Amino acid sequence: MTKFRFPTAFTILFVLIAIVAILTWIIPAGEYAREMNESLGVEAPVPGTYQHVDPNPQGITDVILAPIAGMYDPGLLGSASSAAIDVAFFVLIIGGFLMVVTKTGAIDAGIGALLNKLGGKEHLMIPILMIAFAFGGTSYGMAEETLAFYALIIPVFIRAGYDALTGVAVIMLGAGIGTLGSTFNAFATVVASQGAGIAFTQGIVLRVVILVVCLAAGIFYVMRYARKVKANPAASLVSDMAEDNRNFFLKSSETAGAALPTLTPVRTAILALFGLTFVVMIIGVVGLGWWMAEMAGLFLAMSIVVWIVAKFDKETSMDEKTFVETFVDGARDLLGVALIIGVARGVVVIMDAGKITDTILHSAEGLVTGLSETLFINTMFGIQLLMSFLVPSSSGLATLSMPIMAPMADFAGVGRELVVTAYQSANGLVNLFNPTFAVVMGGAGHRPCRL
């Protein structure tokens, strides 16, 4: 019997494009009058101005061309945001930057040095490492990158008297909570804000509060569980696998331990440059009006700076060919993310061209008008929870849903930044346990918790 495999985000989105095209033959065409919303800086639908217009049903050719049009269209739903191709290019550049930093071994060396320094105070590793992983999550949606740390961190926790599940929780919850509370995550918050037609810095204070509160709760939970396991190993949720885990992970770590890079002054400098890059990005966007082109230029320039700094140490030095190949490899790793942005926007292209977007908004207007801010946002949160199961890609879901969901906030008298926050919180929460999310299955596939 063939085992069912959930389709990829690309397949789901292409199916949605086809379904929406069919709906353009069924749903009446209509449009709102639009006027400039000074507070948002974009043209927004005017409540009460909806009227029917001549239909423009979409065919097979339109379906095929929709993802391509989605890449180039700079103003879906009257948004002042840049075209999806600008976002996609930025994603590729930041992928190259991350790979160059990773290639130097600076991140691995930083965590390794921390583990060595905390010998005998292993309980402090839980908050420190969870904060570090959360920074990765909140800044660039750290997910697949965490898989490399399981073999490094789990043996340390086992040696310290904890179980393997403690190590898994530190990594998965740390990065996952960081993503749930994304503050300037280029693949979630930035893409969603772009789709909503607002700057990603709008609503950042609330997102910081969500990040801090959720991370504090996560650290408290993991530390309480770890303390309980250390006092009574039988309390471990994987106590029946304790001996197997010790034999497997400790033996593996002894074999791989020699390969752990050391934290040299050059690697320390690279870590500082890594953090500085994100600080400069925020300053540029908030104070200088930067957007995708400038941010992409920043990460490209910092990739070169990191390469130059790395040359001062034989362990991190790369020749020109290796640097370029590493950068390209990093961009290639995120090619799927870049492409899915255009595919997801293809859904909106079909809806706009078929003139049914405003008809759907008109139907929703009656549902959200008059709702309190709290009830409206919780409704948005619930919708995004359901959609996150179908489209686990954060950038894909943002691109798909924001152009539709954000204008609803105008009808309800709610800031669009709250819709962005509802999206990222729901998506981050679901992806902590979503079986269609590869990182969850990859982390749970490690020996401690074969779920």
d(CA 327, CA 97): 6
pLDDT tens track of the chain, all 451 residues?
A: 456 666 777 888 888 889 989 999 999 998 888 776 554 455 666 767 888 999 999 999 999 988 888 777 654 433 434 566 777 888 889 889 988 998 898 877 887 787 777 766 778 889 988 998 898 888 877 765 675 577 667 877 887 788 888 988 898 899 889 988 888 787 788 878 877 888 888 899 999 999 999 999 999 999 999 999 989 988 888 888 777 777 766 665 544 444 567 889 999 999 999 889 888 887 887 677 777 788 889 999 999 999 999 999 888 899 999 999 999 998 888 787 778 777 877 887 888 889 887 887 677 666 676 778 888 888 889 888 877 776 656 776 776 678 778 888 887 788 889 999 999 899 888 878 765 454 554 455 554 444 3
Dihedrals phi, psi of 398, to nearest 5 degrees: -60, -45
Nearest to 92 by CA among 315, 269, 274, 327: 327
Tens digits of per-residue pLDDT, 215-245?
A: 999 999 999 999 999 899 888 888 887 777 7
> Do 87 and 341 meet the contact criterion of CB atoms below 8 Å apart?
yes
How many C-alpha atoms does 281 have within 13 Å on its Cβ side?
29
d(CA 415, CA 407): 10
Nearest to 24 by CA among 349, 252, 310, 403: 349
Dihedrals phi, psi of 54, to nearest 5 degrees: -65, 135
Q: Provide the pLDDT for residue 147.
A: 59
d(CA 18, CA 58): 9
Neighbour count for residue 377 (Cβ, 10 Å): 20
> Do 44 and 78 meet the contact criterion of CB atoms below 8 Å apart?
yes
What is residue 122's three-state secondary structure?
helix
Q: Is the pTM of this model over 0.85?
A: no
Q: Determine the residue type at 313.
A: D
Q: Provide the pLDDT for residue 400.
A: 65
d(CA 142, CA 172): 10
d(CA 316, CA 239): 41
C-alpha distances out from residue 62 to 195, 247, 333, Å: 21, 58, 29
d(CA 37, CA 249): 58
Nearest to 245 by CA among 180, 323, 157, 341: 157
> Do 431 and 394 meet the contact criterion of CB atoms below 8 Å apart?
yes
Q: Determine the residue type at 290.
A: W
The string of DSSP letters for 355-394 reads T-HHHHHHHHHHHHTT--HHHHHHHHHHHHHHHHHH---H
What is residue 118's three-state secondary structure?
coil
Neighbour count for residue 269 (Cβ, 10 Å): 18
What is residue 52's three-state secondary structure?
strand
